[in-house]
Amino acid sequence: MASKEDRILEILDDLLGLEDIHACMVAKRDMMGVIPDTKRFNPDVIDIWEILKDTMNKFFDVIKRYSVAGLDKVYFELRDHDVMFFILPGTDTALVAVVPGDDGN
């Protein structure tokens, strides 16, 4: 039987097979979580991924403060991409996806 992490990785790998998903992970504070092989990420997002890694703890501080008020998703633009955090209810965990921005990159 596959472990929980293996099942999550399988789902993330399926997401990476979609044209509009350039990168994804299930994240926790300190970039802990489940991350597929970054070689599968769209090469255009590697620099964005580095920025996210450097600022993830601060972002999870915001999530922690506002999730008690019902925050369940966050979207923001970073360079030519949109970054989406879908916060799993009652947790400090989020599905993070990087998709092309409005200009279609």
- Listed in order, strand segments (DSSP E) in the chain are 23-27, 33-34, 73-78, 81-87, 94-100
Domains in the chain (CATH in brackets) are 4-100 (3.30.450.30)
Each residue's pLDDT tens digit, 77-100: 999 999 999 998 878 889 999 999
Residue 105 has pLDDT above 60, yes or no: no
Q: What is the pLDDT of residues 44-75, one digit of tens each?
A: 999 898 888 888 888 888 888 888 888 899 99
Instruction: Give dist(CA 61, CA 56) in Å, integer.
Output: 9
Give, in degrees to the nearest 5, the angle at Cα 60 between 81 and 68: 115
The answer, as to whether pTM is greater than 0.85, is yes
